[in-house]
């Protein structure tokens, strides 16, 4: 993990308030802001859909975490993704991983393709598929690495190199990697997206999204405008809660990572496991790329159970420390049969279980899996 990130996180929303000296920043619920009759706004805030001091403070932290020039906070990761797609024009072409987060694929299929975007889904973990998919109207490559839930790894530097030559923008969903392990803007991407609902929030108690930009360019101005006029903004309380979560993000992540390693080791040696999908394993097809672009491999672990869907479901039904639930990145470990959640048209295998490895005692997690798989 990059050392500087720990200090940014520890101070998120916790720099003394000049008015009162409060060490934890006050929470500004106000939806509107006073201005003199001259029509000038000396403090810069007018109306909370456009900007709010608590949200501004969060956006400042998010930009620092990904080393971007600016950040915009949204009411969910999906709202953040929507703002990127809305910043394109009908007739533009988008390339995306075929196994990207199911909700983003649904957004494209149900909203943006009818709206006029031309979309190609392909396996971007095989970089030769990228050049084959590029068209004269390609404006954006939306990629995710590691992917949810198959943990495929996309070679971000190669994607960025190819796209830059063709003036195609690159947006990376960095939710699984987190800003602690991978910084796509530093590698040359244009935009990073996070579902802050996950590791950054970290306590399964808020829904949020973020976009961070490398440059305040024309597309970023459009995205900001979309945030302001479409209004999919987080409430001030959610911004404040997210900053509270971010303050402990780095030590939480360290525990997530060490627990994930223990769980991967246990699963890798288990007779009922067909294969563990985890980029930290030397057997992962893109392990070398993961090593290059990530400082660690994350705490999301998927595995294929020997047998059929029913055999996987049985394990999910027997766990006691893991909770059966969707989502990820909270302190508590979760288990999920993804195919059931994603629906029959999803590319996720029937025998796949996805684990969000939490920060409990590692032995408790392994004992739980051991009894569930006995
Ligand atoms: C959860 C998730 C999203 C969507 O975010 P929401 O906050 O649920 O809207 C997008 N991408 C990935 C990888 C996710 O895990």
The shares of helix, strand and coil residues in the chain, as percent rounded to the nearest 5, are 40, 15, 45
**Nearest atom within ligand 1 for CA of residue 196:** 7
Q: What is the mean pLDDT of residues 48-52?
A: 96
Evaluate if residue 3 carries a pLDDT over 70: no
More confident residue, 40 or 201: 201
Question: What is the percent of the chain where pLDDT is above 90?
Answer: 92
Bridge partners for 188 per DSSP? none
Q: Is 217 a catalytic residue?
A: no
Query: Mean pLDDT for the chain?
Result: 96
Q: What is the pLDDT of residue 42?
A: 74
Least confident of 18-22, 75-79, 185-189, 302-306: 18-22
Q: Is 173 a catalytic residue?
A: yes
Dist. CA 204 → ligand 1 center (Å): 13
Task: Decide: residue 325, CB within 10 A, 0-12 exposed, 13-18 middle, 19+ buried.
Answer: middle
Confirm whether pTM is higher than 0.75.
yes
Q: What is the pLDDT of residue 2?
A: 56
| DSSP secondary structure of 198-250 | TTTT-SS----EEEEESS--HHHHHHHHHHHHH--PPPHHHHHHHHHHHHTHH
Cα gap 155→45, rounded to integer Å = 41
Evaluate if residue 351 carries a pLDDT over 60: yes
Nearest residue (CA) to ligand 1, atom 1: 195
pLDDT digits (tens, 9 = 90+) for 200-245: 999 999 999 999 999 999 999 999 999 999 999 999 999 999 999 9
Bridge partners for 144 per DSSP? 173
Q: What is the pLDDT of residue 1?
A: 52
Among 85, 99, 148, 232, which residue has the most ligand 1 atoms within 8 Å of its CB, making it the best to mutate?
148
Cα gap 373→315, rounded to integer Å = 6
Q: What is the pLDDT of residue 220?
A: 98
Q: What is the mean pLDDT of residues 40-47?
A: 83
Domains and CATH numbers, the chain: 5-247 (3.40.640.10), 249-372 (3.90.1150.10)
What b/e string do you get for 2-17 counting C-beta neighbours within 10 Å, with b at 16 or more?
Answer: eeebbebbeebbbeee
Q: What is the mean pLDDT of residues 119-135?
A: 98
Q: What is the mean pLDDT of residues 14-43?
A: 87
Q: What is the pLDDT of residue 17?
A: 87
- Beta strands 191-195 and 300-305, pairing class: unpaired
Q: Is 101 a catalytic residue?
A: yes
Cα gap 78→137, rounded to integer Å = 24
Alpha-carbon dihedral sign for residues 71, 68, 329, 223: positive
Among 74, 195, 238, 354, which residue has the most ligand 1 atoms within 8 Å of its CB, making it the best to mutate?
195
State which H helix or E strand residue 301 sits in. Answer: strand 300-305
Alpha-carbon dihedral sign for residues 262, 265, 269, 275: positive
Nearest residue (CA) to ligand 1, atom 5: 77
Task: Decide: residue 121, CB within 10 A, 0-12 exposed, 13-18 middle, 19+ buried.
Answer: middle
Q: What is the pLDDT of residue 68?
A: 97
More confident residue, 227 or 345: 227
3-state secondary structure of 337: strand
pLDDT digits (tens, 9 = 90+) for 51-72: 999 999 999 999 999 999 999 9
Bridge partners for 99 per DSSP? none
């Amino acid at each position: 993990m990059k050392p500087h990130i720990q200090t940014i996180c520890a101070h998120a929303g916790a720099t003394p308030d000049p008015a009162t000296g409060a060490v934890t920043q006050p929470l500004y619920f106000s939806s509107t802001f006073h201005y003199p009759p001259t029509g000038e706004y000396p403090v810069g805030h007018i109306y909370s859909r456009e900007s709010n001091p608590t949200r501004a403070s969060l956006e400042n932290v998010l930009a620092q975490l990904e080393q971007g020039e600016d950040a915009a906070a949204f009411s969910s990761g999906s709202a953040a993704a929507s703002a990127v797609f809305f910043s394109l024009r009908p007739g533009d072409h988008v390339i995306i991983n075929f196994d990207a987060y199911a909700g983003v694929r649904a957004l494209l299929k149900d909203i943006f393709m009818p709206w006029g975007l031309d979309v190609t889904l392909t396996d971007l973990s095989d970089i030769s598929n990228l050049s084959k998919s590029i068209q004269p109207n390609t404006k954006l490559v939306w990629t995710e690495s590691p992917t949810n839930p198959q943990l495929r790894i996309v070679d971000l530097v190669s994607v960025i190199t190819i796209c830059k030559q063709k003036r195609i923008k690159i947006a990376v969903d960095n939710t699984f990697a987190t800003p602690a392990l991978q910084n796509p803007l530093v590698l040359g991407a244009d935009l990073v997206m996070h579902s802050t609902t996950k590791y950054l929030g970290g306590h399964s108690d808020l829904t949020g999204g973020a976009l961070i930009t490398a440059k305040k360019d024309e597309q970023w101005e459009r995205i900001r405008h979309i945030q302001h006029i479409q209004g999919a903004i987080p409430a001030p309380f959610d911004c404040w809660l997210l900053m509270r979560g971010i303050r402990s993000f780095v030590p939480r992540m360290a525990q997530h990572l060490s627990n994930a390693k223990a769980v991967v080791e246990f699963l890798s040696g288990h007779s009922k496991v067909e294969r563990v999908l985890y980029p930290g394993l030397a057997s992962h097809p893109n392990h070398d790329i993961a090593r290059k672009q990530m400082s660690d491999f994350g705490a999301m672990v998927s595995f294929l159970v020997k047998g059929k869907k029913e055999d996987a479901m049985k394990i999910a039904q027997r766990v006691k420390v893991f909770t059966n639930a969707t989502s990820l990145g909270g302190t508590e470990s979760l288990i999920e049969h993804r195919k059931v959640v994603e629906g029959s048209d999803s590319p996720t295998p029937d025998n796949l279980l996805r684990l969000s490895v939490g920060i409990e005692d590692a032995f408790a997690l392994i004992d739980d899996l051991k009894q569930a798989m006995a």
